[in-house]
């Protein structure tokens, strides 16, 4: 059938320009990652857990108190000084027993942030602040962490260890680390070593030094103990966070593109009518070009559209006039179902290799930090019987039903 010859030509053009396609995709990937300069950090936790102290420790004493952050919603504000390594989104108003409103606002806020076209505007990581004095994470907090996204200076080594174990038991899949942080130390001395968490320590008040008998560590107690490690780790994993955000955005976009491609094929398949001169074949080339552009291959789309229209027109016009008249007459008798079934089949078979190639590119990027052209294994789809099955189904059940049935 004509659709089989056409798809062979389309697939050969894809293979011919496969390296160019891979380079174009890598360029898009690299540009998106490069645009994410600073990690956007959402600081959350129950009221009194120490979020304000953490924000003050990052941006300077009194920052959270004077409210210089830009309010975004009832519960969220944004802090983004130019000289800071991170952008902080601070949350307020989370209390046990009254968290339903917070959860609703958080979901709406995160969905709005996630819908931003630039990855640099997304939330990249969450610092969830927990009251270490309780030595446990509350069930409703675990629910919040799973569904949405303390003062350590008064906690003993035993409490801290118990808290870490309590957190680990939940096995949060997106947890990148548990950090012991003192953002605003008010109580001296403490009774645990910051290096080994041992409790055999001695504090020298005159020098603010903590001596550990277990590991020999000598620590100068500072008001922001452990904070630098949190910020450094957040910045260190930014490329991975940006990569994950890129892949997530691509996966969401993938489903949207596939759905839109189906709509394009349905639109053209239901309006094209064959004629003796073969003028309608230009619309077939236009349909194929639009599907290519939709998947991100504008250059190749223009090339395939022009080549396909030329080849199909030449093939059609090479036939005797009587043959063309007979084909148009048969199509008219079938109420255009025959030609439109063939066009729909062609659209579906063009979309399949493009969808397959996009999946390949996403898989390669997920496994590496760049596109490995040599790992792409694009092979043409050979199924001589498929066009016949599609057309028969379309003639029996309708064009749209056939597209829906065979699209996946």
Please give the Cα distance from 328 to 324 (Å, whole number): 6
Q: What is the mean pLDDT of residues 88-103?
A: 74
Q: Which residues lie below 8 Å from residue 151, measured CB to CB, with a gap of 6+? A: 50, 53, 131, 132, 133, 182, 184, 186
Instruction: Give ranges for CATH 3.40.50.300 in the chain.
Output: 40-183+225-232
> What does the pLDDT read at residue 159?
42
pLDDT value at 405 more than 90? yes
pLDDT digits (tens, 9 = 90+) for 211-253: 887 888 887 665 445 556 665 655 565 566 566 655 555 666 7
pLDDT > 70: percent of the chain: 45
Cα atoms found within 13 Å of the Cα of residue 240, Cβ hemisphere only: 9
Q: Return the CATH architecture of domain 186-221.
A: Single Sheet (2.20)
Please give the Cα distance from 153 to 266 (Å, whole number): 64
pLDDT value at 21 more than 50? yes
pLDDT digits (tens, 9 = 90+) for 315-367: 656 666 565 555 555 555 556 677 788 888 888 888 888 888 888 777 776 66
Q: Which residues lie below 8 Å from residue 249, measured CB to CB, with a gap of 6+? A: 119
> What does the pLDDT read at residue 256?
81
At 378, is the pLDDT very low, low, confident or very high (cuts 50, 70, 90)?
low
Would you say 407 and 349 are in contact if contact means Cβ atoms under 8 Å apart?
no
DSSP string, 355-369: HHHHHHHHHHHHHSS
Q: How far is CA 373 from the centre of its chain?
A: 22
Taken as a whole, the chain contains a residue count of: 408
pLDDT > 90: percent of the chain: 4
The candidate with the shortest Cα–Cα distance to 258, out of 405, 123, 408, 390, is 408
Q: Which CATH number fits domain 40-183+225-232: 3.30.930.10, 3.40.1550.10, 3.40.50.300, 3.30.420.40?
A: 3.40.50.300
SS3 label, residue 42: strand
> What does the pLDDT read at residue 251?
63
> What does the pLDDT read at residue 246?
59
Q: Give the phi and the psi of residue 288 in degrees, each rounded to 5.
A: -65, -40
Q: Which residues lie below 8 Å from residue 350, measured CB to CB, with a gap of 6+? A: 7, 10, 288, 291, 292
pTM confidence score: 0.51
pLDDT digits (tens, 9 = 90+) for 262-304: 999 999 888 877 654 456 667 778 888 888 888 877 767 677 7
DSSP string, 176-218: ------BSS--S---SS-TTT--S-EEEETTTTEEEETTT--E
Partners of residue 128 on adjacent β-strands: 44
> What does the pLDDT read at residue 240?
62
> What does the pLDDT read at residue 387?
82
Task: Measure Cα distances from 20 to 30, 73, 207, 222 in Å.
Answer: 15, 45, 63, 54
> What does the pLDDT read at residue 183?
44
Q: What is the mean pLDDT of residues 20-48?
A: 72
At 202, is the pLDDT very low, low, confident or very high (cuts 50, 70, 90)?
confident
Please give the Cα distance from 126 to 129 (Å, whole number): 9
pLDDT digits (tens, 9 = 90+) for 147-190: 666 333 333 444 445 545 544 665 656 555 554 444 444 444 45
pLDDT value at 57 more than 70? no
> What does the pLDDT read at residue 319?
62
Tell me the torsion sign for CA atoms 322, 327, 333, 336.
negative
Between 32 and 75, residue with greater pLDDT:
75
Please give the Cα distance from 394 to 180 (Å, whole number): 64
Top-confidence range, 132-141, 225-234, 305-314, 397-406? 397-406
> What does the pLDDT read at residue 153?
35
Q: What is the mean pLDDT of residues 45-57?
A: 73
pLDDT value at 401 more than 90? yes
Instruction: Give ranges for CATH 2.20.25 in the chain.
Output: 186-221
Q: What is the mean pLDDT of residues 48-64?
A: 64
Please give the Cα distance from 114 to 106 (Å, whole number): 12
């Amino acid at each position: 059938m004509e659709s089989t010859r056409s798809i062979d030509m389309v697939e050969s053009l894809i293979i011919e320009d496969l390296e160019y396609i891979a380079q174009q995709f890598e360029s898009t990937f690299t540009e998106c990652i490069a645009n994410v300069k600073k990690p956007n950090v959402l600081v959350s936790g129950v009221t009194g857990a120490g979020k304000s102290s953490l924000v003050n420790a990052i941006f300077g004493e009194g920052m959270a108190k004077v409210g210089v952050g830009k309010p975004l919603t009832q519960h969220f504000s944004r802090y983004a000084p130019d000289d800071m390594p991170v952008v902080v989104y601070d949350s307020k108003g989370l209390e046990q027993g009254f968290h339903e409103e917070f959860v609703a606002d958080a979901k709406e806020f995160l969905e709005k942030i996630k819908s931003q076209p630039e990855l640099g505007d997304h939330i990249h990581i969450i610092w969830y602040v927990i009251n270490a004095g309780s030595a446990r994470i509350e069930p409703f907090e675990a629910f919040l962490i799973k569904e949405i996204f303390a003062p350590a200076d008064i906690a003993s080594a035993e409490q801290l260890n118990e808290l870490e174990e309590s957190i680990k038991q939940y096995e949060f899949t997106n947890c990148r680390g548990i950090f012991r942080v003192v953002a605003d130390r008010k109580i001296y001395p403490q009774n645990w070593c910051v290096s080994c968490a041992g409790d055999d320590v001695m504090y020298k008040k005159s020098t603010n030094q903590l001596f550990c008998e277990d590991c020999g560590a000598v620590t100068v107690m500072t008001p922001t103990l452990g904070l630098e490690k949190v910020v450094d780790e957040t910045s260190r994993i930014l490329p991975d966070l940006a990569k994950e955000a890129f892949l997530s955005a691509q996966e969401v976009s993938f489903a949207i593109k596939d759905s839109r491609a189906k709509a394009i094929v349905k639109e053209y398949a239901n309006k094209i009518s064959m004629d003796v001169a073969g003028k309608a074949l230009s619309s077939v080339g236009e349909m194929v070009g639009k599907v290519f552009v939709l998947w991100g291959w504008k250059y190749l789309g223009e090339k395939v559209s022009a080549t396909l229209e030329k080849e199909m027109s030449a093939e059609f016009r090479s036939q005797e006039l009587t043959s063309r008249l007979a084909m148009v007459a048969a199509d008219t008798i079938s109420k255009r179902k025959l030609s439109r079934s063939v066009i729909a089949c062609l659209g579906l078979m063009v979309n399949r290799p493009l969808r397959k190639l996009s999946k390949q590119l996403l898989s390669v990027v997920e496994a590496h930090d760049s596109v490995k052209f040599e790992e792409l294994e694009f092979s043409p789809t050979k199924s001589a019987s498929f066009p016949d099955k599609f057309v028969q189904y379309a003639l029996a059940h309708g064009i749209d039903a056939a597209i829906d049935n065979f699209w996946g």
